[in-house]
Structure 1
Amino acid sequence: MERVIAAADAFGVSLKLTPYRLLYETDWGFESEPEEARRLDALNANALTTEQLEAWYVRLGFVRSGQFDGPGDNATPVLHRMPRTTTLQA
């Protein structure tokens, strides 16, 4: 993400995102691969929550835009980051 931010800054591009918790689906197709199902369950157990993801992006300079994405009570804030002024070197 730091490289994406650096590139956005270098080209004067603002970034906009909506942090969602990402979880792996483990309810299908793993009957013959129990080790893989256990591995994915462990990844899910350690996944950051949406709130933790938002806090991580805030530390990178993102702020709430005032917009929300998603239905009703499940809406997630849209985050925005304006480019920092940098000078490209040839």
Structure 2
Amino acid sequence: ADFVMIPSRFEPSGLIQLHAMRYGTVPIVASTGGLVDTVKEGFTGFQMGAFNVDCDAIDPADVGALATTVKIALATYDTPALKEMIQNCMDQDLSWK
């Protein structure tokens, strides 16, 4: 996969983005919890902003943020910028040190 989308409302730490980056898949994430700490906007992935935490309803603003961020990510597809981002993802030391 070229991208992995993680639209979490809550994500205390998260490993899926770490696994994805290790193998060269660029994450598109909600700006929450550990996703903010591990995915650097434009360097190792894309951030959608924080989502509404009201789990009983889908906020149209969240849908808009998701769509906008996906469009931005897709605009990098097959460009040197995406290749550099993939390399940045794989070059990270994601160990527990």
TM-score, normalisation: structure 2 = 0.28
Whose radius of gyration is greater, 1 or 2? 1
Q: Which has the higher contact order (CA 8 A, sep 6+)?
A: 1
TM-score, normalisation: structure 1 = 0.29
* Structure number with higher strand proportion: 1
